[in-house]
Amino acid sequence: MTNHLTRVSTGVPGLDPLVKGGFVRDSINLIAGGTGTGKTIFAIQFLVDGIKHNEPGVYITFEEKKEKVYENMLEFGWDLEKYEKQGKFVFLEYTPEQVRKILTEGGGTVEYMIEKIKAKRLVIDSITSFCMLYEDALTQKEAALDLFNLINKWNCTGLMTSRDISAEESIISAAMEFEVDSIILLYHVRNKGIRTRALEILKMRGTKIPEKTVALDINKKGIVINPRKIIIF
C-alpha cells in the first residue's frame, strides 16, 4: 500500500518543493513527453539521486543501448559503470516481449536483480513500447495493472517514461492515465523559431499540485526546474 506520508526525492532541483518533497514512496509515476524533452535524463537523474540516498536502482529499457547511455550520462557527471560495479545500479536491456514474459512468470530476472542489489527505485524506459504489444485499451490496462502490481510487490518507487508527443491531456494512454500515481509532462516547444523547455505536473495523488507550466533547463548537472518562471506557449 502506498505510504502517503513518506516522500522520496525526484533528484531534480526545483521540483520537490512543488510536490511536497518528491514522489510518494512506492508510488508509480509517469514522465511523458516527445523526442528530445529529456525523459531519459530525468529517469537516470532519479536513479542517481536514489544511489546518493542509499536506494539502489534498476533501469529497464526497450530502446537504449547500454554503452551509449553510459557514455551520454558521463556528460552530467553520472558514472553508471562505477555504480554498477558497486552493486548500486543495474542496466537491463529488454524487448517488450521479454517484459510480457516477466508478467507471466511473476518476476523472473528483474525480481532477482532487485533482490540482489536491494533496489528501491525502478525505471522503465519507455512504457510506450510495452503497451503497443496489446491491441486494445482493455488488454493494455490489464497488462499495466499486472506490471504495477509487480512493482508494488518489489517495494520500489517506480518511474516510467512515455513517448507522448502532444501537450493535450487526452494523449495519455487510457491504460496509464487512471492507474499511475502521478503524471509529469515535459515540453520542448518551438515558438517563432526558438525552442523552449518546460515541465507540467498533470496529476499527483495525495498532493496539491501547482496549476502552472514552469521552466525547465538541461545543464551540465542534469535537469533543473525554475518554479518561479512560468512558461506560456
How does pLDDT run across 93-148, given as a tens digit for each residue? Answer: 988 788 778 777 777 888 999 999 999 999 998 887 777 777 777 887 788 888 88
Helix axes 108-117, 96-105, angle to 10 degrees: 80
Question: Stretch 196-203: mean pLDDT, rounded?
Answer: 94
User: Could you give the 3-state DSSP secondary structure of residue 71?
Assistant: helix
Instruction: Count CB atoms within 10 A of the CB of residue 168.
Output: 8
Question: Stretch 217-232: mean pLDDT, rounded?
Answer: 95
C-alpha cell at 20: 511536497
Look at domain 27-184 and name its CATH class.
Answer: alpha beta
User: Could you give the 3-state DSSP secondary structure of residue 64?
Assistant: coil
C-alpha cell at 211: 496549476
Q: Would you state the pLDDT for residue 177?
A: 67
What's the pLDDT tens digit per position in 213-222? 999 999 999 9
pTM: 0.91
| Domain spans in the chain, listed from the N-terminal domain onward | 27-184
User: Could you give the 3-state DSSP secondary structure of residue 197?
Assistant: strand
